[in-house]
């Protein structure tokens, strides 16, 4: 058995494989004109989230932790029974409805 005879049988198929690999190789060899980086959508979202967290952290750090005058006011209203009055509950219900977009009938 001669090897050259086998090679001649498969030569057309080998040529096709070689031609297809030559077509794809030059495109792989091309270098980009300049370096570039592209962020995925998740990376962009995380970056925005981090920025928002930083903004909120700054706002929290700049606000007073405890407002004693408000605490004293609420304590006084509780002891006076202000939060148990119909006027307060009506005002609260109206505010909640307004916030939820419910029209008063």
Per residue in 32-86, pLDDT (tens digit) is 677 878 888 888 888 888 888 988 888 888 887 788 899 999 999 999 999 999 9
CA neighbor of 83 nearest in space, from 71, 92, 96: 92
Specify whether the CB–CB gap between 80 and 90 falls below 8 A. Answer: no
What is the spatial distance between Cα 91 and Cα 70, in angstroms, rounded to a whole number?
A: 19
Answer yes or no: are the C-beta atoms of 68 and 75 closer than 8 Å. Answer: no
Q: What is the DSSP letter of 85?
A: S
Q: Are the C-beta atoms of 11 and 19 separated by less than 8 Å?
A: no
pTM over 0.95: no
What pLDDT sits at residue 79? 96
Q: Token pair 């990376």 is at which residue? A: 43
Q: What is the pLDDT of residue 1?
A: 46
């Amino acid at each position: 058995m001669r090897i050259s005879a086998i090679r001649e049988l498969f030569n057309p198929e080998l040529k096709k494989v070689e031609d297809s690999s030559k077509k794809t190789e030059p495109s792989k060899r091309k270098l980009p004109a300049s370096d570039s980086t592209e962020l995925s959508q998740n990376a962009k979202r995380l970056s925005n989230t981090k920025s928002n967290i930083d903004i909120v952290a700054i706002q929290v750090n700049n606000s007073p932790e405890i407002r004693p005058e408000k605490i004293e006011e609420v304590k006084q209203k509780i002891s006076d029974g202000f939060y148990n009055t119909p006027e307060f509950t009506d005002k609260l219900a109206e505010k909640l409805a307004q916030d939820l977009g419910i029209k008063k009938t």
